[in-house]
Structure formats: structure tokens, C-alpha cells
A and B are shown apart, each in its own frame.
Chain A
Amino acid sequence: MTTEQIYAKLTDIFRDVFDDESLVLTPELTASDVPGWDSFNHINLIVATEVQFKIKFKTAELESLRNVGHLVEVIASKVG
């Protein structure tokens, strides 16, 4: 799966979770940039990502997530 494909799929998930069809993902994007990205939606986001990509994050990986670019790197390392 290419980085672009991961971004495309992740964009759909973000738009669903935050109910915002205009949301555009950039590597630098963090929780403080997106209205509604609270702890509740964060969990939903992570669980939805696990379901959609058929992957499982390690607890330590989630602890250290910095931004969307970092999240994409972690996904890439798992989907191959």
C-alpha cells in the first residue's frame, strides 16, 4: 500500500469520525488543529483505523503518536 493510498483511506475515516467532508490530512496535522478531536473521538479514530486497515496498534505506539504523518508511518509499517 502506497503512502498516498494510506492517506486516502485515512481521510475517509477522519471525515467519518469528525463528520467533516472538507477535512484534508497533512503530515503535520495534530489533535489541536481539528475541532472535535477529543479523547472520545481519538479512541474512535484509532479503533476505526484498526478495523479499516485490519491492523492492531501496540499500546506503546499509540502512546507516542505525534501527528498524522507519524500515524501514517506506523500504519505503513504494518500493512506492508
Chain B
Amino acid sequence: MSLFWLPQQPDWNAALLEARKRPAREVAPRFVALANTSIDFLQTAKLDKIVQQCGDDLRAALTRTRPMKLALLGSSTLTHLVPAIRMAALRRGFWLDVFEGDYGMYHHELADPSSALYTFQPDVVLLALDAQHIAGGNGASAEHSLANLTACWKLAQEQLGATVIQQTVLPVFAPLLGNNEQRLPLSPFSIVAEVNHRLRQQAPQAGVHLLSLDTLTQDEGLKTWHDPALWHRSKQEVSPRMAPLYGDHVGRLLAALRGLSYKCLVLDLDNTLWGGVIGDDGLEGILLGQGHAVGEAHTAFQHYAKELAGRGVILAVCSKNDDANARAAFERHPEMLLRIKDIACFIANWQDKATNLRTIAETLNIGLDSLVFADDNPFERNLIRQELPMVAVPELPEDPALYASTIAGAGYFESLSVTKEDLERGQQYQLNAERNRLRESSTDMAGFLRGLEMQLIWSPFDSVGLSRITQLINKSNQFNLTTRRYTETEVAELIGQPECLTLQLRLTDRFGDNGIIAIIIGRPAHGSETDVLELDTWLMSCRVLGRQVEEATLELIVKQAKLLGARRIAGFYLPTAKNGMVKDHYGRLGFLQTSLAEDGSSSWILELKTFEAKPTFIQIVEGTLDHRTDLREAH
């Protein structure tokens, strides 16, 4: 079964029949739930057909992110993959329109601004070229194929303005030599290997993301994914059977582009992180570590969780246990790989887990739809699926040896880049705990803030900060006034634009560096109001809420706006499902409201002449790269 991490639903057909009868506004959550079960290719096609019939009503009801447009370009039959790609988007709560290019016409379509592809205006282009096309022809070579691909990327990025996803090549060719095929560099088998190798080298600097089809198929094997008979019959390189899994991988990449990947892995303890029940078996009785196969399997799972944390995934614990018992294992069991400091939020009590997951999301300042809940107990899993359908709940198999591969296979934490902040996130949550202790020991808020010795270090956008800036722009949901998403290319275009105000803000304090925590983009107003600077983007990491960063940021914006010749600053609030916390952001900072639309969006203005900065405990410092490096070392 290809969507192995999702639960089976035995009465799926009946549930679909039932969902179809409902009025349009009620069907959306039901369809999303049906897509979040382990469905095969026929069920996927069936659901897609019904969903497409619902059309606009359903499109409007899927509000997790705005609808997205994908162009699927290739040189063989891809039609059978389209329903699965669309349903993978539905699974993640958003609407996807797919444009399928004409068979083998992708280069022509990319080069012709009057083609249907340009009329479609895709957000993303997926180049899904088959192995025969890449390496099967006479005179084929890796150089030639890569030159063709890079030309396509350039057209898609620069002419069409789309983000590019490149599918790596499925190794369908039989080798001619055997184990040492590399001695025949021009065999189709070798060309595919070489193209895939070079794609991995070139993709990052070209700003292209990969759909890693060659490694993805290793799990279930080429024979499951590719049926030569189907290739001859219908030019389908990927078998329809595997369409759901193919589609899901496309879906997770699209979701990652919109910042919808999950952020936090919430772990149960008994029979999840270790074997046995610590309350009954005691610290010495639980199965963990060397000497016992089950214990080793749990250790391997902890190891995987720890590695995830090492690259930026937040870990939390949610367990039905006495707090002291639960903590004892973390503090005293010699085989525990995970320690208290690795856990950003630790909850062990006897409350229901839905309540506890809400607490975890609130404590960490992230949405419930950022949580993945790993629990061996089917009862708890079903409870969460029912109570909190936005939380991802992998169907953990009974054998703990398979926990890690199940969570990895689900692709919850799909990520398109790794920034320094990602690698340091775990440490930052630990520092936050220390800050909280200072807050508790300080008698008043002012004393606490003064004691932090904060510095807000700013610089305009630069190429060094580019990936982190882009990541924040696409990930921040809550403290985000306009939720405008920009690609790395679009952000890069802002660098060095003299009439624009771009700020990346870093906050340090005596406990360490919080990294880049806020982004500002300001542009001159269009038309006659030449003295107005419009704030296109103001976003901030929720980690630094309540530290006067907003006030200090405004002080800085005002200073910079004056240098640009502005006399007024205009701010906008565009409501989304998640950014209610900043509805009155500009009002709180002393802006005057100039308009309020029916949908809740509002415009605000600030006269610079009469503006007086509120005093804060933050020192504002202009930072060059070197300066920032020094500070890092100083802490």
C-alpha cells in the first residue's frame, strides 16, 4: 500500500457517498479527511473526479493557503498522475489547478509566450521527463540533457516567473556491463546515473528543487514503480498503482513552498520512546538500548528524532504519566538519547491528549497544523484525528523498528533548504527556557527586559541572508501583517534597490543569538503620493513576542524612511486564518486607521513629523556581516 503512513478506512466508499450529499460548504473538511486515508489509485481518481465537479465552492472553502497552479511538463503520458497530485494538495488543505503540457512539447511551450502554458501562469513548473527522453536516443549524453534542462529552467524562471521542480530520472534501463557499468559512460544506464548526480550538484545554485524519483522508488523497488509493458502500451513511465505516492511527493514539495510543512514532532513515551510502561515497570524495567532487540529499536527511533531536532524540527512530549516518573527516564536512564534539554515542551499528566496538544501548540507559539503526533496507541491516535483533524497522526506500525521509516516516509518535515537558524533551533528553545527562568525571577517586566541586554542588529537584504529571509517570508503565518510570499528570485531582486527599504533584523541578548527574527519590506507608494513609504511586508518570529521588538523596529523603520525622503508610512493588515494576533498591530504602534474593508483588511498611516519613538530596552545597532559574526562568538 503506497500511502502506508495514513490510516485505512474500511467504509471509505460509503463515507464518500455520504460526503457527496452534503451542501458545498460542509464537504470540504470531509473530503480532506477522505484524502487523509490510505487510498489506492482508483479511490484517488474517484475522489478527484468528485472534487473537480464541486469546483469553485470547494476551492473557496479550502483556505489553508491560497489556490496554487502547477504546470506538469513532460515527454510521455502523465495524465494518470494528475488526480493524485491534486489530491495530495487536498490532503494538505489547499486547492491545486494542474495544467498538463502537450505530449513532448514542453520546450516549445516554455519558449513561446503565446502558448497555453503562459496563459495558465503557473506558480510552479514540474519537469517530469522520462528516462527514454533523457538517455534513450542515439547520441544522448549527460551534457546534452543537462544543457536542455538548464535552458528550460531559465525560461520557466525568468520568462514564465515560475518556481521549478525537476524530477530526477528514473533508472529504468538495463545495464550492459553489470556491476561496473560506470566503465561504459555512454550506456543509457550510466547516462541516467550521471544526469541524476549532476542534477543534485546543480539544482541548489540554479534555485531549482528536485523531486527525487530515483531514490524515492528504491523503497518499494523499480519493479513496483515501473512496468515496461505499460511503457510500451501507454507510455506511462510511472505505473498508475504508484500514482498516489508520486502525487503525495509533489504535494509535499508544493506545501513546503508555501511554508506548510510541519514543525514539531510530539512524542508519546511508553511503548513509543521506550518499550514498556514506566509507571508499572519502573526505571529499570523499561526496554531501551543495547541487549534487547525491542530496546534497540526504540533507541533507533530516539536517534532519528534527535537527528530531526538537529536540523530544526522541534520536539515535544505528550504522555499519560506522572510527571516525575516521565522525567526520571530523561534525567536518569543511561540509555536515553533524548534528554530534557532536547524537548521544547514536556507534558506528562492524565488529561486527554487533545487538550495537551493544544497546550503544546500555545506554549511553542505554533499552529496545531504544525504538529505531528507520534503515539503507539491506536485509541489516542483516533482521538486526535477526530478532535484535532489538523494535527498529522502517522499510523505507527506495531513494530517499533518501523517507527522512523514510517515518519520519514510520510514526509511531514519536507524542507527545501537548511539555514543556520534551522541547525540552531533546538539550542534556541533551550535558551528560551533560561530566559523564562530570568522572567520568573525578575519582579517586574521592565527589570526582566533590562536584564536581557538586548541588541537589535539590522542590515538591508543581502545575499548571505537570502535563504533565511526567503524562508521566513514563506513560513511565517501568525505575526505576519500581509502574508505576502516571495520566491528567492523575487527577494534577490530587492537587494540593492535604492528606493526600497529592506531590513533583516537579528536579536541578541545575554543568553545568546535569536537569529534573524523579523523582516521588513517597504516600497514607495505608486502615483502622486511620492512621500509615502508603503510597508509591503512586516513579519516577526513569535519567539520574540513581548520583548518590545515591534517598538524598536518601528523606530528603525522611521529613521530609514526619513533617509529615503518619506514623510509618511503606510501600513496594511490583510487578515488570514492565522494572523489575527496582529490585527491591531499598527493601532498599538500609534498609526491612524484610514480604511477598514468588509473582509477585515485595514490600512493605516503614520505621520513621521509628529512621531515619537517609545523608549525600549533594546539597543539598535547597524550590523555588517563581520559585526554579526563577532557577536555570535562573543556569546
Contacts and interface: CB of A to CB of B under 8 A. Distances in A.
27 contacts: A13-B42, A16-B42, A16-B43, A17-B42, A17-B45, A19-B49, A40-B79, A40-B80, A43-B80, A43-B233, A43-B234, A43-B236, A44-B41, A44-B42, A44-B45, A44-B80, A44-B240, A47-B41, A47-B239, A47-B241, A48-B41, A48-B42, A51-B40, A56-B229, A58-B229, A59-B229, A62-B233
Contacts of B240: 43-44, 47
User: Chain A's interface: helix, strand, loop or mixed, by majority?
Assistant: helix
Nearest to A48: B42
Interface string A11-55: 001001101000000000000000000011001100110010000
A47 B46 CA distance: 15
Given A17-B42, A17-B45, A43-B233, 17 more contacts: A16-B43, A19-B49, A40-B79, A40-B80, A43-B80, A43-B234, A43-B236, A44-B42, A44-B80, A47-B239, A48-B41, A48-B42, A51-B40, A56-B229, A57-B229, A58-B229, A59-B229
Nearest to B79: A40
Interface of B: 40-43, 45-46, 49, 79-80, 229-230, 232-234, 236, 239-241
Contacts, number: 38
A17 B79 CA distance: 15
Nearest to B229: A59
A51 B80 CA distance: 17
A60 to B, nearest CB: 10
Interface of A: 13, 16-17, 19, 39-40, 43-44, 47-48, 51, 56-59, 62
A43 B243 CA distance: 13
A16 B329 CA distance: 51
Contacts of A56: 229
B42 A39 contact: no
Contacts of B49: 19
A19 B239 CA distance: 21
Contact of B233 (A19, A51, A59): A59
A46 to B, nearest CB: 8
B46 A16 contact: yes
B91 to A, nearest CB: 20
User: Top 10 nearest A-B pairs by Cβ distance?
Assistant: A47-B240, A16-B42, A59-B229, A43-B234, A19-B46, A48-B42, A44-B240, A40-B79, A47-B241, A17-B42
Contacts of B46: 16, 19
A57 B236 CA distance: 16
Contacts of B241: 47, 51
A38 B201 CA distance: 42
A16 B41 CA distance: 11
A57 B79 CA distance: 22
A34 to B, nearest CB: 15
Contacts of A48: 41-42
B232 A59 contact: yes
B502 to A, nearest CB: 48
